[in-house]
Structure 1
Amino acid sequence: MKYIMNIWDETMNKSRGLWIDRGKVRYAEFPVSPAGIFKMNTKEFNVFPGKITLDTQAAEQFSAGNGISYVKQKLLHGFTTLIHAVNIEYESESDDCLQDTRHKLSDCPVDYIQAVKLPLARMSESWMRSLRQQSVPIVIFYAESAYEIAAAPWQRFAEAMFPKRMMLICKPLEKVTDMKEKAKIYASWKHIVDVFKFNSYYSFPDPGIPVSPFLAKRTGLFPKKGSLVMGSDADYLMYSSSAEQAAQPFKVPDIIVLKGKIVKTGTKWKLSNIKGKELTNLIPEKFLPIQEIYKYED
């Protein structure tokens, strides 16, 4: 289906047009000859692109039979793309764990990417190579101390990940509660990033917190997800601009669209034939300006 619509762009502080064609934003202005193209009336709505968030529960929710309800809650909060993180303790379990997770998410109606959470103590060159081959773009590792970070063979890890710019995220182990030790861990990791120029991010948001456009670019999800620009998927939410909706403490989208298909209107859902997919062909940092390549915080 082809259609055109007007939205208010907060970044540009002006109204602009969108031309949606087969689930994608084909162009950021209206076509010269709009004959045969439906025009959507958005005067009574505020339109926003879908957001991206870290998630750790979707696979298990689908395994338990609660997946669709879980995703509906995500959509009501504006999240149309998930960074699904799975814990893996041992390299030998990695392939089976990823395969199992992908099977559980086979009925997920929203698109997602895989992230792996693992202990730095067991991180290895072969594991990094395997994750690269499995098209995992984000690795979140847990460190016990600053010394552990300094002693790790980062040059070998970098070679194993080449030529992809996988993102590495450092987190202290839960048992590390001393704030000074946590600060040392983060300082040690910042030094490693500075030396090896890894693709990283120092304040990766928790589940339920939107990913910023800058972080979306670092992961390679921009412009496909989290935006409404040429080449992006038509994932967006429409909120009534009425005074009644504005007074609500939590604004619920009146209309939710995934890849150009309406999946919610009012209180009615149409998710039965909607299939999301794992995004694997990402090019991290592609759209970052040269001055921001080695910037790791918003």
Structure 2
Amino acid sequence: MIGMYIIEDANILKNKQLTECSLLIDEDRIARIESCFNHYRLMKMNVDPFIMTPTYVLFNSKIPHNESFPELKKYLIEHFLLKGCTTLFTYVDISYENKLTEKISEMKTALISSPIDFVIAVKIPVRLLTPSLIRSCKKEKIPAIFVELDNQGELEKIPWGWIREALFPYNCPLIPLISFSQKKEARDVLSKWKGIMVKEKIPAIYEEIEEKQPLPVTVLNKVGLFPQKASLMQGAELSYNLYVKGREINNVDEVKLFHYHGDRLVVTVHKGKIVRSGNQVLFKPGFGKNVEVRTPSYFSL
């Protein structure tokens, strides 16, 4: 083990701004962040030629978890590790409440050899949104419930007061999934959804989450992953990307870096270990863990 060392002259990208600082690292965590650590007699790693970002948490509901290990490995390399993502956010599809534990267990088993961390939510039809189902989700520490909406009328029938009580105190957010193909209908049902969530004070996300996109901090916080994931803060795990500096990426945000400047990504570190160097991926089966969210929405932004 390396123990303590310093990452100096880091250019950390946050909200399109670069912050220059140095990080004191203790094993696989960020112990302190200062402008510099000149008086420390520790090994130093200079990263001034690079832009540093946290690694991404990516939402992807299409994980080939029932395929062979070589297929899953190929998918995780191409869609996650080569893109600087070290945490996967996905869900299992539940049609009957009594299948919840079994489905979650199946997904955990399928991802046991994953090199990246994973977070498992559930997806349900709106008819399954009951206090009983929510209590089962709390018992399993499910950090989010995706609710499939196919008509506005069903939202009126839900006993929202009971739902709010059942969610407390774990308060995992409800996330809408729209099955309408017409944009106007989708907008109308989302507007209805937001109105009910605000009025009833239900912990929720008001818009759909886009597939294969890095989760924004607002969503990460709601599901209880921030600042545990996707952050370079004091006390956080040491997971970061290094992009080669260039004039064209001086004023972009992390999402644009992810989508348009992947060719500049040269290093990805996950929990203190290099998992990608240049074009080489260091696939570590089982290095990923199921992330247990203790309290969603705990960190106040």
Q: Distance in 1 between matches of 2:155 and 2:58?
A: 27
How far is the alpha carbon of 1:242 from its aligned partner? 6.7
Query: Which blocks of at least 5 consecutive residues in structure 1 are unaligned?
Result: 290-298
Residue type of the alignment partner of 1:194:
V
Match of 1:295 in 2: none
Secondary structure of the corresponding residue to residue 282 of structure 1: coil
CA contact (8 A) 2:12 2:51 kept: no
Q: 1:62 to 1:50 in 2, by over 3 A?
A: farther
Q: Structure 1, residues 26-83: CA drift from partner, whole Å, max 9, x if none?
A: 1112557522x32112122222110112111335166553222222221222222111
Residue type of the alignment partner of 2:158:
A
Q: Which among 151, 154, 166 is matched to residue 160 of structure 2?
A: 154
Q: Distance in 1 between matches of 2:70 and 2:166?
A: 38
Q: 1:141 to 1:16 in 2, by over 3 A?
A: same
How far is the alpha carbon of 1:195 from its aligned partner? 2.0
The alignment of Structure 1 onto Structure 2 pairs a total of residues equal to 285
Give 1:1-298 correspondences, 5 Å limit: 1=2, 2-5=4-7, 6-11=9-14, 13-29=18-34, 30=36, 33-35=39-41, 37-58=42-63, 60=65, 63=68, 65-73=70-78, 74-172=80-178, 174=179, 176-241=180-245, 250-272=262-284, 275-289=287-301
Q: Structure 1, residues 230-255: CA drift from partner, whole Å, max 9, x if none?
A: 12111111123379x99x96425211
CA contact (8 A) 1:49 1:228 kept: yes
Query: Which blocks of at least 5 consecutive residues in structure 2 are unaligned?
Result: 251-259
CA contact (8 A) 2:82 2:281 kept: no
Match of 1:293 in 2: none
Q: 1:268 to 1:34 in 2, by over 3 A?
A: same
Secondary structure of the corresponding residue to residue 28 of structure 1: strand
Match of 2:255 in 1: none
Q: Distance in 2 between matches of 1:204 and 1:19?
A: 38
Secondary structure of the corresponding residue to residue 164 of structure 1: coil
Residue type of the alignment partner of 2:200:
F
CA contact (8 A) 1:47 1:237 kept: yes
Match of 2:254 in 1: none
Q: Give the TM-score of the pair, scaled to structure 2.
A: 0.85
Q: Distance in 2 between matches of 1:264 and 1:249?
A: 16
Q: Distance in 1 between matches of 2:25 and 2:99?
A: 42
Residue type of the alignment partner of 1:230:
Q
Q: 1:120 to 1:265 in 2, by over 3 A?
A: same
How far is the alpha carbon of 1:286 from its aligned partner? 2.4
CA contact (8 A) 2:51 2:243 kept: yes
Residue type of the alignment partner of 1:177:
S
CA contact (8 A) 1:58 1:105 kept: no
Q: Give the TM-score of the pair, scaled to structure 1.
A: 0.86
Residue type of the alignment partner of 1:213:
V
